[in-house]
Amino acid sequence: MIRRTIMIILLGSLISVALTGCWDIRTANQYVIVSSVAVMNGEKFNYHVYLQIINTMEFASGKRRGNATTYVLDGEGNTMNEAFFKIEEKAGRKLELSHMMLLMLDEKLLTDEKGLPFFDFLESMADVRNDIQMVVAHRIPASEPNKILIPMVTVSVGKIRYELDSVAKNWGGTPNVHLKDFIRDITSDGKQPVISSVTIEHPSSKAFNTEVLKDTVQSTQIIADGTAVMKRAKLLGFLTVEETRDVLWAQNKIKQTSLTVPCESDKYVQVQILHSDSHVKVDYANHRPNVRIQINVKGDISENQCRTIRLDKINGYSKTESITEQMIKKGVEGTIEKVQKEYGSDIFGFGEQMMRQHYRSFNKVKSDWDQEFVKAKVTVAVKAKIQSNGIVSKSFLNDIPK
């Protein structure tokens, strides 16, 4: 899947070369294709930029030499344009930025809002697509993921993008933010931005060497690990994958997921949520916002470890529905309370909801909305409908003598 994506990118580049007019003709030996950009604080200048470049020779039939399919070039500058110019000097060719898949930001860069002019630079560049995916490197330098080599994966950032898309679609553990989403939220009166976060699991120096491509066991992995909480362009902290799902539930962005619901001491029932629908109502009364969230889910049971849940009995399903509702409610309320107390940043978009539903009331408090968000009263109600998915209704576990 990832290799197919890269081949499409390369093919697209060749087609663009063929179709471009003479005044701006682009030939393969004049440009290098950039697949991702990572930005950190510089040592001598404001920014240190790392670009992952696609080694096109390793994709050409009959010309492969077994080298890495990507390599990294870097440069520093007080402006992003200066850093990019220095990288072009190293490359000896111009940078083709229209196929960038990922923007990797260092968490230290975002602690002092140095990223703000950087975002403006990216949005103003004609070659950079506004649907480029954004991530924050969590507990690791932003330069590291670009350098990692992964067996069976031609371009490491392609693996990151595929994982983010997969986690967002099938589980809901990452917000999957693109540049256009971030720019929209950063300029909103009633919503603060978030960015997906990634980290490296089991880091090893071997992961940067082509010899790792021959290993049968790959311990070093790049994984999605939650969400970066922002206030405009400033990083406030991070939420876990589970807390991220709570945020997305409050935003009606969960469509399907899987819940490991505790039902006995160290025993669980696995509930597959196949459909989810959330409704948010926000008004203003008694000098504070009142937020009411209704979450409706439908799903089935894929695994049951609990003797007390008898799937051959109607009350087995009603009990599963009850504990599922309690788990979702507790999680969403807990995450909202955490964000209110620790970050004071309305990443849920409750302000936008109030603006749509009660514009005049919101207009009176929008200048101090984050302070209003902190004191908001939030109630969450969950309704679950759990059905059979065809698994054996009567488990043999119930027949084992105690």
- Domain at 336, CATH number: 3.30.300.210
Contact 380, 293 (CB under 8 A): yes
Together in a domain, 269 and 330: yes
In a domain, 8, yes or no: no
Together in a domain, 267 and 149: no
- Give me the residues paired with residue 73 across strands: 51
Q: CB under 8 Å to 402, separation ≥6 — which residues? A: none
Q: What is the pLDDT of residues 222-233, one digit of tens each?
A: 889 999 999 999
In a domain, 110, yes or no: yes
Together in a domain, 38 and 143: yes
Together in a domain, 302 and 368: yes
Which pLDDT score, from 0 to 100, does residue 66 have? Answer: 60
Together in a domain, 230 and 253: no
Relative to beta strand 94-96, strand 102-106 is unpaired
Contact 172, 257 (CB under 8 A): yes
Which pLDDT score, from 0 to 100, does residue 28 have? Answer: 58
Together in a domain, 190 and 212: yes
- pLDDT digit string (tens) for the chain, length 402 residues: 555 555 555 555 544 544 444 434 455 578 899 999 999 999 999 999 999 998 877 666 555 566 677 889 999 999 999 999 999 999 999 999 888 889 999 999 998 777 778 788 888 887 888 888 999 999 999 998 887 766 666 777 777 888 888 888 888 889 989 999 999 999 999 999 999 999 988 765 544 455 554 555 566 788 899 999 999 999 999 999 999 999 999 999 998 999 999 998 899 999 999 999 999 999 999 999 999 999 999 999 999 998 888 888 889 999 999 999 999 999 999 999 999 999 999 999 999 999 999 999 999 999 999 999 999 999 999 999 998 766 655 666 566 766
Q: Which token pair is 12?
A: 């697209």
Together in a domain, 232 and 298: no
Last residue of a domain, one of 239, 265, 292: 239
Number of domains in the chain: 2
In a domain, 18, yes or no: no
Which pLDDT score, from 0 to 100, does residue 19 have? Answer: 45
Which pLDDT score, from 0 to 100, does residue 253 have? Answer: 96
In a domain, 1, yes or no: no
In a domain, 16, yes or no: no
Last residue of a domain, one of 190, 221, 239: 239
Together in a domain, 216 and 87: yes
Last residue of a domain, one of 183, 205, 239: 239
Together in a domain, 176 and 207: yes
In a domain, 359, yes or no: yes
Together in a domain, 261 and 394: yes
CA distance 262 to 331: 13
In a domain, 6, yes or no: no
Together in a domain, 221 and 261: no
In a domain, 2, yes or no: no
CA distance 260 to 112: 38
Domain, as residue range, for 384: 242-401
Q: Which token pair is 20?
A: 């471009």
Which pLDDT score, from 0 to 100, does residue 14 have? Answer: 47
Which pLDDT score, from 0 to 100, does residue 155 have? Answer: 75
CA distance 190 to 369: 7
Q: Which residues of 26-61 are buried (b: 16+ CB within 10 A; e: fewer)?
A: eeeeebbbbbbbbbbbbeebbbbbbbbbbbbeebee
Together in a domain, 231 and 269: no
